[in-house]
């Protein structure tokens, strides 16, 4: 897959200025003293890591695994795209060495994750920034645009036909059929659902009354497991619409709607448009916990507003001695400039440099 235009997003992300409310430690030495920053060779270690979670980041993790194992032939990293909720449960249970999640640990999850870490706490390390597409399959309609309120009504089951007055108002020049709407959502616990419902809660509060959650709570619609399941369900039925990470929409050849933003525009999902929303992100965690907050109501002209951050959740301290070198080596590669640069061809965005450097520092301090 060649997505050269995503390189623009890399440039925007790397130059974005973020308001950082917390900083990681800056006095931790690299595991390899000869390494001179993130462009150095990978810190190789032996053994096996088992991780699972977010399917949104699967393509990114697969790329990192391939690159790391090519450099470090005695390492084996297994990643199961079981969904964010399942990944966190596996991490808490001790069956996953780290978890991938499309949202940071919730308040009720944090104590359980901390307990699993023995002498330390679980921290959220942002590793991938990915735009979320509103993908659809509607014969004869190629330039759909939708306000957040209209999206909220569609996914809440309040709008059931494509020629509904609200959709017509968003698309005055389109010829809309009376086809029934098949709204596709994630059936598994999903950080992508958490981000999408958070977007609806922040931008269409009057029309979305189901809050933010990893588990889908609105009635009706069609549930599909994991990101590839949602993309397939949309592709296989005319009249379908759903939310899915950009890379899955691209891979499936799906049409993507323009989405209304805080500036009063309908923004198409492009590298540049998503990068404008990333520029408004903030880091709100403490110390090496680097959970981020996205401003879905950004008023930046041309900004595409639905962007998610996916994390690796890992113990800050108390990692088993036989696992620690490999955890630090692999996550260090993912956080390196090289690891982040690999994402631009896959429909993701690299971390802004100010955040990437803090993630890299946090990884070096794991113990």
Which is more confidently placed, 44 or 346? 44
Tokens of 210: 């189901």
Three-state DSSP class for residue 67: helix
- Tell me, what's the pLDDT at 203? 97
Q: Tell me the pLDDT tens digit for each residue of 249-267.
A: 988 999 999 999 999 999 9
- Tell me, what's the pLDDT at 38? 41
pLDDT bucket at 41, cuts 50 / 70 / 90: low
- Tell me, what's the pLDDT at 37? 40
pLDDT of 14 over the 70 cut: no
- Residue 168 and residue 179: Cα distance in Å, rounded? 13
The rounded percent of the chain whose pLDDT value lies above 70 is 89
pLDDT bucket at 314, cuts 50 / 70 / 90: very high
> What's the whole-number average pLDDT of the chain?
88
- Residue 332 and residue 127: Cα distance in Å, rounded? 10
pLDDT bucket at 176, cuts 50 / 70 / 90: very high
Contact 24, 363 (CB under 8 A): no
Cβ partners under 8 Å of residue 70, min gap 6: none
Cβ partners under 8 Å of residue 111, min gap 6: none
CATH 3.40.190.10, the chain: domain bounds: 6-129+310-364, 132-275
pLDDT of 182 over the 60 cut: yes
- Tell me, what's the pLDDT at 276? 84
> Architecture of 6-129+310-364 per CATH?
3-Layer(aba) Sandwich (3.40)
pTM over 0.85: no
Q: Phi and psi for 8 in degrees, rounded to 5?
A: -60, -40
pLDDT of 161 over the 70 cut: yes
pLDDT bucket at 26, cuts 50 / 70 / 90: very low
Contact 171, 145 (CB under 8 A): yes
- CATH T-level fold of 132-275: D-Maltodextrin-Binding Protein; domain 2 (3.40.190)
- Tell me, what's the pLDDT at 211? 96
- Rounded alpha-carbon distances, angstroms, from residue 67 to 269, 279, 328, 333, 340: 28, 28, 15, 9, 12
- Tell me, what's the pLDDT at 45? 95
- Tell me, what's the pLDDT at 49? 98
- Rounded alpha-carbon distances, angstroms, from residue 126 to 291, 297, 308: 7, 21, 10
pLDDT of 7 over the 50 cut: no
Burial of residue 50 (number of CB atoms within 10 Å: 0-12, 13-18, 19+)? middle
- Rounded alpha-carbon distances, angstroms, from residue 340 to 136, 248, 356, 367: 29, 19, 8, 23
- Rounded alpha-carbon distances, angstroms, from residue 267 to 9, 11, 97, 133: 15, 19, 39, 11
Helices 324-335 and 353-364: angle between axes, nearest 10 degrees:
170
Tokens of 301: 């002209």
pLDDT of 181 over the 90 cut: yes
Tokens of 345: 């061809």
Q: Tell me the pLDDT tens digit for each residue of 319-362.
A: 999 999 999 999 999 999 999 998 878 878 788 888 899 999 99
- Residue 232 and residue 185: Cα distance in Å, rounded? 12
């Amino acid at each position: 897959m060649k997505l050269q235009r995503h390189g623009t997003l890399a440039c925007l992300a790397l130059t974005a200025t973020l308001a950082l409310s917390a900083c990681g430690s800056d006095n931790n030495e690299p595991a390899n003293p000869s390494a001179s920053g993130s462009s150095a060779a990978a810190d190789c270690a032996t053994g096996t890591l088992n991780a699972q979670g977010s399917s949104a980041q699967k393509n990114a993790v697969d790329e990192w695994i391939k690159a790391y194992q090519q450099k470090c032939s005695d390492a084996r990293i297994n990643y199961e795209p079981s969904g964010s909720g399942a990944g966190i449960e596996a991490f808490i249970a001790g069956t996953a060495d780290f978890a991938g999640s499309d949202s940071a640990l919730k308040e009720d999850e944090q104590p359980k994750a901390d307990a699993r870490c023995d002498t330390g706490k679980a921290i959220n390390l942002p590793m991938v920034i990915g735009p979320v597409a509103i993908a659809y399959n509607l014969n004869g309609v190629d330039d759909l645009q939708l306000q957040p309120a209209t999206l909220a009504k569609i996914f809440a089951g309040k709008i059931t036909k494509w020629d509904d007055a609200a959709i017509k108002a968003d698309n005055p020049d389109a010829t809309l059929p009376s086809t029934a709407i098949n709204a596709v959502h994630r059936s598994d616990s999903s950080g992508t659902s958490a981000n999408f419902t958070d977007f609806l809660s922040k931008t269409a509060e009057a029309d979305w009354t189901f809050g933010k959650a990893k588990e889908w709570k609105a009635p009706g619609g069609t549930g599909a497991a994991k990101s590839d399941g949602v993309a397939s369900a949309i592709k296989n039925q005319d009249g379908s619409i759903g939310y899915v990470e950009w890379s899955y929409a691209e891979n499936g050849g799906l049409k993507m709607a323009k989405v209304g933003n805080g500036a009063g525009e309908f923004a198409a999902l492009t590298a540049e448009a998503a990068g404008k929303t990333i520029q408004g992100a903030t880091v709100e965690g403490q110390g090496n916990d680097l959970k981020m907050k996205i401003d879905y109501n950004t008023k930046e002209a041309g900004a595409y507003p639905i962007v998610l951050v996916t994390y690796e959740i890992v113990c800050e301290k108390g990692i088993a001695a036989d696992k620690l070198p490999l955890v630090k080596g692999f996550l260090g590669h993912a956080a390196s400039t090289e690891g982040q640069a690999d994402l631009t061809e896959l429909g993701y965005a690299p971390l802004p440099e100010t955040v990437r450097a803090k993630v890299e520092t946090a990884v070096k301090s794991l113990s």
